[in-house]
Amino acid sequence: MSFNTRWNYRDAKRNKFRALMTIIGVIGCTALLVSAFGMYDGMNDLKEWEFIMTPN
């Protein structure tokens, strides 16, 4: 293993709570980004459906 990999592994072993919180934080931020882009796309589709579905 490279020096950086060994360094990161040793740091994660020493600070387990900080490593866990880092992983949870990255997963949480990724979920927020995916949700935000999905909501943006869904709102754009809803706008088109509303104009199509309204009676004339």
The answer to whether the predicted template modeling score (pTM) of the entire model surpasses 0.75 is no
User: What local confidence, expressed as pLDDT, does residue 37 receive?
Assistant: 93
User: What local confidence, expressed as pLDDT, does residue 45 receive?
Assistant: 82
Query: Nearest 10 degrees: CA dihedral of 46, 50, 51, 56?
Result: 170
Q: What is the pLDDT along the chain (56 residues), one digit of tens a residue?
A: 899 999 999 999 999 999 999 999 999 999 999 999 999 988 888 877 766 666 65
Can you say whether residue 49 is alpha, beta or left, with left for phi > 0 and alpha for psi between -120 and 50 degrees? alpha
User: What local confidence, expressed as pLDDT, does residue 55 receive?
Assistant: 62
